[in-house]
Amino acid sequence: MTTKAGVGMSRHHNPNVAGREAAERALQKAGVSKPDFVFVFGSIGYDQHSLVRTVREATGGAPLTGCSAEGTINGDEADESGFSVVVTTISSDDLQWTNGIARGLEDDARAVGKQVAQDLLPDLSADTIGLFVFPDGLITLTLENFFAGLEENLSTVQFLPLWGGGAGNNLDTVGPTYQYCDDEVVSGGISYALLSGKAQASWAISHGLVPIGGERIVTCSKGNVIYEIDDKPAVEVLKEYLPEQALTEERDWMRYAISLALCFRAPSYMKDEEYVVRGVPALQMADGSIIVQTEVSEGTSLWFSSRDKEKMITGLDRMAAQIKDQLGGEKPKLVFQFECLTRGKTMLREQEKLQLLKRFRQSVDPEAPWAGFYTIGEIGPVEEHNDLHLFTSVVLALS
């Protein structure tokens, strides 16, 4: 028996109907009645517990991993309305799955990484292919610590690639996001699924930002807080790139956080990109500081950056070529696409977005089952370094 995978989508507003519809469509496309494993990416508008329960019922209680999403992707279709769910059903003699969930990411991400490593240890083997991770997208500030905690505690010499994306909630910084594991639906945690067996993973990553203006220097910082840039309060420097009255209140920043980010010089192992992107998830008007999704030391060079359609398109073209190259002529059995929410409706017109997705899919494999979602933070390895990316697309093809 070979690997059979199917992806189904529903836009019904009732979670009990949507979950069943999407699961049934996925099963039908896979040509199986009971899958070995299920991925679910569900929009935040649904009652999440009802949604997951319905999918579990429709898939015969198969192990399930997934998260809430800013929007969902099913092949050439994408939906960012707040009401869509994409279910992936997989049945295979060649693949083995181990799934789980961990809480407390915000409190001690390193400890969570350690816990996940310990949970996975019994299942790690030479056949291990990689780990899917879906953390709370609002807690990505600490995700580097999670990676560290995980990798420190894996007693394997083999590099364990991580792929995934941050769970979303339509940019509601106050409300929760949700991570799914079987019947469990939690917030502030991370759901994961370890993939082992006979399959090849091919993946590629690119961001869609270009630097604007000249180099700026961090002149005062501590941890992941930048107080001053070029000896000026960081918020004041940020304001130079924003419309007047844009930052009357701190919460106004979220409207602009999706289109203005910081670029740092990319580490040497990152061959495809000149810059690595880090977002500014929050700012503090009181002391004029900004919070960055990485630790920044004083004297670091940075560039303000903005989304660029051309960069996005050329990036996707490069990704398609890289994946095809890695596939070496094999046809992918399943493709996952973790796409930053900033690359969706907040930047592109609906038809433009769909055309772009279609063009990319055509380049990789128009027939492969294709599932994904719009993320807050994307996770994918670059040259054996698991990284949190922003404003990027992470695409993984399993063959």
- Contacts to other proteins by CB under 8 A: 11, 13-15, 43-45, 47, 81-83, 169-170, 172, 175, 212-214, 240-243, 246, 255-256, 259-260, 304, 306, 345-347, 349-350
User: Whose Cβ is closer to other proteins: residue 159's or residue 256's?
Assistant: 256
Q: End-to-end CA distance of the chain, in Å?
A: 14
Token digits of residue 363: 């380049």
Report which residue type is found at 1.
M
In the complex, least distance from residue 375 CB atom to other proteins, rounded to whole angstroms: 18
In the complex, least distance from residue 50 CB atom to other proteins, rounded to whole angstroms: 9
In the complex, least distance from residue 195 CB atom to other proteins, rounded to whole angstroms: 32
User: Whose Cβ is closer to other proteins: residue 43's or residue 191's?
Assistant: 43
Q: Measure the CA–CA gap between 222 and 226, rounded to whole angstroms.
A: 7
User: Whose Cβ is closer to other proteins: residue 60's or residue 176's?
Assistant: 176
SS3 234: helix
User: Whose Cβ is closer to other proteins: residue 240's or residue 367's?
Assistant: 240
Pairing outcome for strands 128-135 and 162-165: parallel
Element (H, E) at 219: strand 216-222
Q: Which residues pair with 389 in a beta bridge?
A: 378
Asked if residues 108 and 102 have their Cβ atoms less than 8 Å apart, the reply is no
**For residue 39, how many C-alpha atoms fall within 13 Å in the half-sphere facing its CB?**
33
Token digits of residue 290: 């900004």
User: Whose Cβ is closer to other proteins: residue 240's or residue 249's?
Assistant: 240
Residue with tokens 């930053």: 340
Q: Measure the CA–CA gap between 8 and 232, rounded to whole angstroms.
A: 51
Q: How many CB atoms lie within 10 A of CB 394?
A: 26
User: Which region, left, alpha or beta, applies to residue 341 given φ > 0 means left and ψ of -120 to 50 means alpha?
Assistant: alpha
User: Which region, left, alpha or beta, applies to residue 268 given φ > 0 means left and ψ of -120 to 50 means alpha?
Assistant: alpha
User: Whose Cβ is closer to other proteins: residue 216's or residue 361's?
Assistant: 216
User: Whose Cβ is closer to other proteins: residue 1's or residue 174's?
Assistant: 174
